Amino acid sequence: MAFLQVDNLAKSYTGNDAPVFENVNFSIEKGEFVCIIGHSGCGKTTILNALAGLENASAGNLIMDGREVVGPGLDRGVVFQSHALMPWMSVIDNVKFGVRSRWPDWSKAQIEAQATQYLEMVGLGHALHKKPSMLSGGMKQRVGIARAFAIQPKMLLLDEPFGALDALTRGTIQDELLKIVQATEQTVFMITHDVDEAILLSDRILLMSNGPRARIAEIVQVTLPRRRTRHDMHHDPRFYRIRNHLVDFLVSRSKDPKPAGEIHPPVVRPGEDEPLTASLAA
């Protein structure tokens, strides 16, 4: 059984309205990086919140690591779209808050060391004692990432973590996230609107059809080798095959998903027939 198993998940807000999404099925393996893409309002955040235990689904099952997900917990680290840092705490206190929650018995020094280590990992070693209001958007987002990573959760949930950032900053943080995830073998579920970001980071990409009654219409296997960089990726013909496939879905096929009744979305591997470029294969 997969690390995370989502079965027939559905959510409706008001009783008589059509559900926001229904029959959502997917699974995530341990150490896998999975992105979900879909048009605004299709229910991505709702799915993530259900995984986080912050919101209850109307129907379906969520099983993580062999246990049913009920309510939020320290085994899942959440990076919120709006970073959600406590503005009255310094950067390090924000991270320490999480660490102390995870390990209440730790000594002050241990907590401090853990928080510092993860803040240094995201390149914020120089800003430990600043207040979040003194940081740029990208730095705040990195604090949020450090806070989520520092509790060493079994799974990370990221809701459009880079949505509010300019392209340049976004690239830098994507590289950082990629490095960290590759080093820590984290299991990650991430929402994004950015097709390139999804290709760079994920092993698989879930494509969601438009709501209401949204579903996972297709699962795209990223056929690029796992060790990839933003720079090299663009030289690979597979990259364009995947990219075209995703954009094509978002532009023309997301409104018209597969007929109802199809419960397990098909897996596609765009560009599988293309040879791997030498530089990447090495």
Partner 1 sequence: MKNEHWKSLLLSVVLFAFFIGVWFVATQPKESAQQAAAQDEYAALMGKGAAKSGGFPPPQEIGKAIVTHLSDPFKDNGPNDKGIAIQLGHSLGRVGLGFALAILVALPLGFTIGMSPLLHRALDPFIQVLKPISPLAWMPLALYTIKDSDLSGIFVIFICSVWPMLINTAFGVANVRKDWLNVARTLEVKPLRKALTVILPAAAPTILTGMRISMGIAWLVIVAAEMLVGGTGVGYFVWNEWNNLALPNVIFAILVIGVVGMILDRCFAGLQKLVSYTE
Contact footprint for ligand ATP (CB under 6 A): 13, 20, 38, 40-46, 211
The nearest distance, CB 107 to partner 1, in angstroms, is 18
Q: Is residue 49 a contact point for Mg ion (CB under 5 A)?
A: no
Which residue, 134, 49, 129, is CA-closest to 96?
A: 129
Nearest residue (CB) to Mg ion, 102 versus 193? 193
Q: Which residue is nearest to ligand ATP (CB)?
A: 45
Site string for Mg ion, 182-221 (x = CB under 5 A): ----------------------------------------
Inter-residue contact 34 to 205 (CB < 8 Å): yes
Q: Which of residues 19-48 bind Mg ion (CB under 5 A)?
A: 45
| 3-class secondary structure, 198 | helix
| Rounded CA separation 53/47 (Å) | 10
- Angle of helix 91-102 versus helix 137-150 axis, rounded to 10: 20
> Which residue spans within 130-221 are E strands per DSSP?
155-159, 187-191, 204-208, 216-221
| CA-to-CA dists, residue 281 to 224, 227, 238, 240, angstroms | 9, 9, 12, 17
| 3-class secondary structure, 240 | helix
Residue 211 partner contact from Mg ion, ligand ATP, partner 1, none using kind-dependent CB cut-offs of 5 to 8 Å: ligand ATP
Nearest residue (CB) to ligand ATP, 38 versus 138? 38
Which residue, 184, 189, 145, 140, is CA-closest to 165?
A: 140
Give phi and psi for 252, each to the nearest 5.
-120, -25
Residue 78 partner contact from partner 1, Mg ion, ligand ATP, none using kind-dependent CB cut-offs of 5 to 8 Å: partner 1
Dihedral sign of CA atoms 178, 180, 184, 187 in order: negative
The nearest distance, CB 202 to partner 1, in angstroms, is 23
Nearest residue (CB) to ligand ATP, 54 versus 128? 54
Angle at 119 between CA 80 and CA 145, to 5 degrees: 15
Nearest residue (CB) to Mg ion, 80 versus 239? 80
Which residue, 227, 216, 226, is CA-closest to 268?
A: 216
Sole binder of partner 1 in the list 61, 82, 110, 244 (CB under 8 A): 82
Sole binder of partner 1 in the list 76, 215, 238, 245 (CB under 8 A): 76
The nearest distance, CB 65 to partner 1, in angstroms, is 16
Q: Which of residues 148-167 bind partner 1 (CB under 8 A)?
A: 151
Inter-residue contact 9 to 24 (CB < 8 Å): yes
Nearest residue (CB) to partner 1, 16 versus 133? 133
Residue 201 partner contact from ligand ATP, partner 1, Mg ion, none using kind-dependent CB cut-offs of 5 to 8 Å: none
Residues in contact with Mg ion by CB under 5 A are 45
Residues in contact with partner 1 by CB under 8 A are 52-54, 71-74, 76-78, 80, 82, 84, 86-89, 97-98, 101-102, 131-133, 151
